[in-house]
Amino acid sequence: MKGKLAIAMFGQKRLSREGGIEIVVKELCTRMTQNGYKVTCYNRSGHHVSGAEYDRKTEYEGICQKYVPTIEKKGLAAVSSSFFAALYSAFGKYDVVHIHAEGPAFFAWLPKLFGKRVIVTIHGIDWQREKWKSGFGSKFIRQGEKNAVKYADEIIVLSKGVQDYFKNTYGRETRFIPNGVNRPSIRKAKLITEQYGLTKDSYVLFLGRVVPEKGIRYLVEAFKDVKTDKKLIIAGGSSDTDSFMKEVKELAKDDDRITFTGFVQEQLLDELYSNSYIYTLPSDLEGMPLSLLEAMSYGNCCLVSNIPECAEVVEDKAVIFEKANVDDFEEKMFHIIRAFHVAGRCTDCGECSRVCPQGIPLHLFNRKFIKDIDKFYGEYQAGEDTTSKGPLTNFTFEDVEPGIVAERG
């Protein structure tokens, strides 16, 4: 332990999975402790989402946890807890103070004043979030961003877009360190079947905080117009207040296919990722979305908005729709459901006709195509073996001309 740094962390609510910042801090602190660093986390007071047994727990896997006074009101919880955390870390025996997010960075000057090295991780441009676009919160966060630029010894960003923003706006160099995720724990459906009646590939999954900037309004509106027997699972808790959660539940109340699970973790979380048909993240604003990284690690087909933070993560490995465009979202969701369904495993169940927004009986077309292919090109079952080639992939002089197929149709 000799020579290892003593590090204070604040900006997170607590060591939990209730948000991206909390996950990053938990994983970072756990690994730093394993490497011999002395880490102290200054957490908000209040109830832990994992259960009462975690409330005010002073040690977690070698990490020292301290709890600071917190005013539990919208907009004041982050300000009050960050002030006291900055104050305690300034007077504490720490070599480095690591601050997470722009709001808490407002107090970066305090530990800096007392000779501490200050690191700030920017998890996103927070003043752009819907709830902070005006009033005191907006001004506080904007000033926090400026204080990070002025007082931080190093600034860490999670995306190239945010790195460009700090360079172009402030001329400030930053360190780009993207988020990472653990290897997935693939699980068969068990708890999700018992609790929600879910089975493999029976649902579309959204997992994250239920807040306006995650695009959940678009998700609910688009899904309600898609004709499918798939369910929509919205997994995650609210943030600060329950007002938006109540709003989206009201929006979804007349569609019994939509289920809100609340906060999930551990086996339930793994099962939801492991068995989803599609994972979707329709966000208006992100830093580097951990839930999207996790969903991709489980091999999920992902449907995401075209904001740079999502597009940068998925590259060409996902389906992308125009941000805030409900019609485009609905259309892309329909095409994914249809494409998955007919990708070599059509069972003539009629699902494609049910999800078609134009009411076209697509299963009848599929039935006719299969019949013609079998008749004119030989019977073929996709995926039956690895050697046989599909019809129409090789030309021969014996192939039936398309016109003949039409004439005999």
Question: What digits encode the pLDDT tens for the residues 219-264?
Answer: 999 999 988 889 999 999 887 668 899 999 999 999 999 999 999 9
pTM (two decimals):
0.79
**14 and 159: one domain?**
yes
CA–CA dist 128, 265 (Å, integer): 28
What confidence score (pLDDT) does residue 1 get? 44
Residue (of 157, 63, 150, 39) closest to 101 by Cα position: 157
Q: Which of 148, 176, 204 is the last residue of a domain?
A: 176
pLDDT digits (tens, 9 = 90+) for 42-99: 999 977 665 566 667 899 999 999 999 999 887 788 999 999 999 999 999 999 999 9
What confidence score (pLDDT) does residue 94 get? 98
Average pLDDT of the chain to the nearest whole number: 88
**68 and 155: one domain?**
yes
**61 and 148: one domain?**
yes
What confidence score (pLDDT) does residue 345 get? 58
How far the first Cα of the chain sits from its last, in Å, is 80
Residue 32 pLDDT > 80, yes or no?
Answer: yes
pLDDT digits (tens, 9 = 90+) for 283-336: 998 988 999 999 999 999 999 999 999 999 999 889 999 999 999 999 888 888
What confidence score (pLDDT) does residue 193 get? 97
Give the helix ranges, DSSP H, for 4-153: 20-34, 76-91, 109-113, 135-151
Instruction: Quote the number of domains for the chain.
Output: 3
**135 and 168: one domain?**
yes
What confidence score (pLDDT) does residue 264 get? 94
Task: For residue 36, give its domain range.
Answer: 6-176
What confidence score (pLDDT) does residue 136 get? 85
What confidence score (pLDDT) does residue 169 get? 97
Residue 193 half-sphere exposure toward CB, CA atoms < 13 A: 9
**129 and 155: one domain?**
yes
Single-letter residue type at 30? T
